[in-house]
A and B are shown apart, each in its own frame.
Chain A
Amino acid sequence: MEAIDENQDISQTRLDSAASFKAFMLKTSTKSNLNLYDHLTQLLIKVMDNQPQNVVDVIEDLSLDVKRCLYEDQQSSLRDLPQTTAAELLAEQQRLLFSRTEDADQEDELVESPLPNVNEIGFYLEQAGVGLGREEMQRVFLALKQLVESQALLRCRLWGKILGTESSYIVAEAEYREGEGEEEQITEEAAEEEEREVKAQDNEIDLPPQSTYKPAPVVPKEAIGAGANKFVYYVCKEPGLPWVRLPSVSPAQINIARQIRKFFTGKLDSPVASYPPFPGNEANYLRAQIARISAGTQVSPQGFFQAGEEDGDEEYEAPRDCFDVNPDFEGIPVAEMAESLSTWVHHVQHILPQGRCTWVNLAVKPEVEEMEEEPDEPEPEVGPPLLSPLSQDAEMFTTPPWTSKISTTLTSQHAIAVLCSNLWPGSYAFACGKKFENIYVGWGLKYAGEAYSPPVPPLPQKEYPSGPEITEDLDPSLEEEQALKEALEEQQAAQDEIEETDEEEEDND
């Protein structure tokens, strides 16, 4: 009997301890208001329901899931706040590109449209391994159409794309029309004059010591429609966003742009922090680089353009800057174009070291008359003439300036000739029969050989030559002062004597 009693006792204590442990497990947590017993029950129910493989490995995750489920209902009262993303805003802008104009059908088909066939260009460029992607190309096409319609341009061309660190620029080249853009120049000049006047007024009030430093004469800007400013350029960040017209470029900007190496940021109004300091903001820098790239890499098959009729022998020295499309051009065989560089010619004027396409003599100015010695007549800078073949281009950094190749070797019957510039990586040209096109897609930087070394700042100016007129005298010592005093007194006494004798003489008279 005792044994049974003992057994009962033991089972009783076991039950008690089990009950106490269950009570412990049922204790609700002060943090989450849950208890372990219910949690384990739910967990095991979940395991029985789902019956996953290798339960023991994922039991922790299941446990987490069970806990997470408890919160779901509570969260349903919160509602997601929809945020407009950049993609949605852009889509809204780009929607306008796809809107049809009502009067499109009535357009006169005889008039040549200024809009280029970007799809065709894209097709050829893709064969050359260059492009922005087909969809992007189509968007650019539509954006160009928008530009042509809104600005009523004569001729328009996709120039290329310049990558920036924050966003990129799509660049369109448009032909300048007579009478346009002059206002801008006049206003600019007027603004400059005003500035000068303001400065002059300031000078009248308070005259600071004048500096003897004379800045080098400013090389005048080329007129819009000539030289580096022959075309006007429009840029936009994304197709669909508004096109912005770039300001015309000045020789100073081109010259500084040659000396600096900077990435574009993608914001037109951001300053260009560089040494030497760049005159202008990023829009000016962009325009200067576009001018340099165009001058260096815009090429066409030889014979496509012919020199314009020269007006006469008066302008013998001035390089020609006009050319016409040669109507008799028959196209050069592709194999020949890929073989030799002499079948390609530059059709944009070379920019001289002065920063202009046509050289101006800065020494010839009325001020020169005052100078006694006639300064040496500066040698006029001469660049290669227009339509000169690429085979004459100089080699830099032991790299040939151009690489020409054929787009495919498997089906060479229908290949196109591709030319890429090694000086301006990203600049490509293709030619196929009578068709040719240039495009630039890149960072807007010239190949700089091994490493770029920024120009050193100018030497500090010389000290003023020290002479007697600016040296400070030593203070006199006491003895010297006394000696001087005595000398003065003696002098005074002598004068007094003379005066006295004079008076006496007068009295005597």
Chain B
Amino acid sequence: MDSNSLYYSLELVAGSGHTLNLEQRTALQTSLVILKKNYKFHRVLLWGKILGLNNDYFIAQGRGEDEMEDKKNLYSFNCMDWFLLPPVTDQMIEEVSRAAKGRFIGDPSFVYEHIQTRKHGNGEKAEEEEIMTKVTEETRLTVVVHHIDEEVSVVPRGAFVRNPHGLVQINRSFDGLSHSEAGKLDSFLHFSKPKNLKKKSILEMGELNPAIDFLDVVSDDIPKGSWSLQFECASKVCVLRSLLWLGLTFYHVPMTPQHGYIYIGNGLKNLDLPFML
């Protein structure tokens, strides 16, 4: 959620049970301004919090000119001192998926180790080779933040536009979904590179507006029912929760341009989802 709207937006997502205390909020109001200036971001978002066993990571995201491409993530323990996370590479993703298990510890230098034994040759001549994968928690944090952004970051339809140059920018004339639109999952889009947009039929594509509908629709997610859509705060705020990444909460106040999402959770993907619906 945008750092400028922290005053009220934290209240709107508090229905999931997590909020920030006053000290953290005030610290963020100060530090995010400095962060924006130092890194020359166009705007700064409070991305969320990953709960560790000993410490919690606060994550902020800086956005540049292109809202989708120019993203940088930073983490902090005390909401004041921010450290930049490196960009994600395929190798990092692979290593993390192999080695990192269990809850976050809360120490970026903690090393997850994984030993894989591989057999060479066959029969009695088989030689066992041990492959050791080592991953630091900072790498894991980078990858998890990337995954969550890829899989469950949400924006209402029309809040962002792609201009003819291909830049994705905030739609200044977006004035919110109507109440009936906000009650339907297909008015919400994934804010990540589209994956199954090209698979749509020409008939479906014909109804889409290329400036707005350049993203994947949330209602196409598999399995069906991996989102929980509710109206909260006296039925005035549309709240969307991901069941795949428990802890991701998105809010949108219908008929206003206010929207945003935050992740406060333990950074574990809910792999049991198919059993739980």
Across the interface, name the chain B residue whose C-beta is closest to A397. Answer: B102
* Inter-subunit contact A408/B23 (CB<8 Å): yes
Shortest CB distance A165–B (Å): 4
Residues of B with C-beta under 8 A to A443: 246
* Inter-subunit contact A262/B53 (CB<8 Å): no
Residues of B with C-beta under 8 A to A177: none
Interface stretch of the complex, out of A111-119, A124-132, A184-192: A124-132
A87 CB-CB contact with B under 8 Å: yes
Interface stretch of the complex, out of A147-155, A286-294, A446-454: A446-454
Residues 42-78 (chain B) with a chain A CB within 8 angstroms: 53-54, 78
Pick the contact of B11: A130, A133, A163, A262 (CB < 8 A). A133
B20 CB-CB contact with A under 8 Å: yes
Across the interface, name the chain B residue whose C-beta is closest to A274. Answer: B275
* Inter-subunit contact B272/A448 (CB<8 Å): yes
* Inter-subunit contact B275/A134 (CB<8 Å): no
Interface digits, B22-33 against A, CB 8 Å rule (1 contact, 0 not)?
A: 111000000000
Interface stretch of the complex, out of B142-150, B184-192, B200-208, B229-237: B229-237
A161 vs B276: C-alpha distance when bound (angstroms): 19
B225 CB-CB contact with A under 8 Å: yes
A131 vs B243: C-alpha distance when bound (angstroms): 20
Pick the contact of A261: B17, B102, B235, B276 (CB < 8 A). B276
Shortest CB distance A186–B (Å): 36
* Inter-subunit contact B234/A90 (CB<8 Å): yes
* Inter-subunit contact B15/A168 (CB<8 Å): yes
* Inter-subunit contact A135/B11 (CB<8 Å): yes
A136 CB-CB contact with B under 8 Å: yes
B101 CB-CB contact with A under 8 Å: yes
Residues of A with C-beta under 8 A to B234: 87, 90-91, 94, 135, 139
Across the interface, name the chain B residue whose C-beta is closest to A131. Answer: B19
* Inter-subunit contact B228/A165 (CB<8 Å): yes
B37 CB-CB contact with A under 8 Å: no
Interface digits, B1-44 against A, CB 8 Å rule (1 contact, 0 not)?
A: 00000000001101111111111100000000000000000000
B277 CB-CB contact with A under 8 Å: yes
Q: Which of A128, A136, A139, A400 has the most CB of B within 10 A?
A: A136
Pick the contact of B16: A400, A411, A441 (CB < 8 A). A441
* Inter-subunit contact B17/A442 (CB<8 Å): yes
B271 CB-CB contact with A under 8 Å: yes
* Inter-subunit contact B101/A403 (CB<8 Å): no
Known interface pairs A133-B233, A135-B11, A407-B21; A163-B276 also in contact (CB < 8 Å):
no
Residues of A with C-beta under 8 A to B230: 166-168
Known interface pairs A90-B234, A165-B243, A263-B243; A425-B16 also in contact (CB < 8 Å):
no
* Inter-subunit contact B225/A131 (CB<8 Å): no
B259 CB-CB contact with A under 8 Å: no
Across the interface, name the chain B residue whose C-beta is closest to A240. Answer: B234
A90 vs B11: C-alpha distance when bound (angstroms): 19
Residues of A with C-beta under 8 A to B24: 129
A400 vs B235: C-alpha distance when bound (angstroms): 39
Across the interface, name the chain A residue whose C-beta is closest to B49. Answer: A129
Q: Is the interface of A mostly helix, strand, loop or mixed?
A: loop
A410 CB-CB contact with B under 8 Å: yes
Residues of A with C-beta under 8 A to B102: 397-399, 449-450
Residues of A with C-beta under 8 A to B157: none
* Inter-subunit contact A85/B17 (CB<8 Å): no
Residues 88-141 (chain A) with a chain B CB within 8 angstroms: 90-91, 94, 126-136, 139
A426 CB-CB contact with B under 8 Å: yes
* Inter-subunit contact A399/B272 (CB<8 Å): no
Residues of B with C-beta under 8 A to A132: 14-15, 17
Residues of B with C-beta under 8 A to A452: 271-272, 275
Residues 430-459 (chain A) with a chain B CB within 8 angstroms: 441-443, 445, 448-452, 454
Shortest CB distance A438–B (Å): 13
Known interface pairs A133-B14, A168-B15; A126-B21 also in contact (CB < 8 Å):
yes
B169 CB-CB contact with A under 8 Å: no
Known interface pairs A136-B233, A261-B272, A451-B271; A403-B228 also in contact (CB < 8 Å):
no
* Inter-subunit contact B14/A261 (CB<8 Å): no
B179 CB-CB contact with A under 8 Å: yes
Residues of B with C-beta under 8 A to A399: 53, 102-103
Residues 374-399 (chain A) with a chain B CB within 8 angstroms: 397-399
* Inter-subunit contact A85/B235 (CB<8 Å): yes
A190 vs B101: C-alpha distance when bound (angstroms): 51
* Inter-subunit contact B233/A135 (CB<8 Å): yes
* Inter-subunit contact A263/B19 (CB<8 Å): no
Known interface pairs A87-B235, A133-B12, A400-B53; A161-B228 also in contact (CB < 8 Å):
no
Known interface pairs A263-B277, A422-B103; A86-B18 also in contact (CB < 8 Å):
no
* Inter-subunit contact A87/B276 (CB<8 Å): no
* Inter-subunit contact A133/B15 (CB<8 Å): yes
Shortest CB distance A134–B (Å): 7
A261 vs B179: C-alpha distance when bound (angstroms): 33
Pick the contact of A441: B17, B246, B275 (CB < 8 A). B17
A128 vs B56: C-alpha distance when bound (angstroms): 13
Residues of B with C-beta under 8 A to A448: 272
Residues of B with C-beta under 8 A to A90: 234-235
B266 CB-CB contact with A under 8 Å: yes
Pick the contact of A166: B11, B16, B228, B236 (CB < 8 A). B228
* Inter-subunit contact A129/B179 (CB<8 Å): no
Known interface pairs A163-B241, A399-B102; A129-B272 also in contact (CB < 8 Å):
no
Interface digits, B90-107 against A, CB 8 Å rule (1 contact, 0 not)?
A: 000000000001110000
Interface digits, A159-194 against B, CB 8 Å rule (1 contact, 0 not)?
A: 001011111100000000000000000000000000
Q: Which of B24, B54, B266, B275 has the most CB of A within 10 A?
A: B275
Residues 220-277 (chain B) with a chain A CB within 8 angstroms: 225, 228, 230-236, 241, 243, 246, 266, 271-272, 275-277
Shortest CB distance B233–A (Å): 7
Pick the contact of A454: B21, B53, B103, B275 (CB < 8 A). B275
Shortest CB distance A57–B (Å): 12
Across the interface, name the chain A residue whose C-beta is closest to B16. Answer: A163
Q: What residues make up the interface of B, taking CB atoms closer than 8 Å to A? A: 11-12, 14-24, 53-54, 78, 101-103, 179, 225, 228, 230-236, 241, 243, 246, 266, 271-272, 275-277
| 9 A-B pairs with the lowest CB-CB distances in the bound complex, closest first | A441-B17, A133-B14, A87-B235, A452-B272, A165-B228, A90-B235, A133-B11, A131-B19, A86-B235
Q: What residues make up the interface of A, taking CB atoms closer than 8 Å to B? A: 85-87, 90-91, 94, 126-136, 139, 161, 163-168, 238, 261-263, 397-400, 403, 407-411, 422, 425-426, 441-443, 445, 448-452, 454
Can you pick out 10 interface pairs between chain A and chain B where the beta carbons lie within 8 Å of each other?
A131-B14, A133-B233, A136-B14, A136-B15, A163-B241, A166-B230, A262-B275, A263-B276, A399-B103, A422-B103
Given contacts A128-B21, A129-B18, A131-B17, 6 further A-B contacts (CB under 8 A): A85-B235, A133-B14, A263-B243, A263-B276, A399-B102, A442-B17
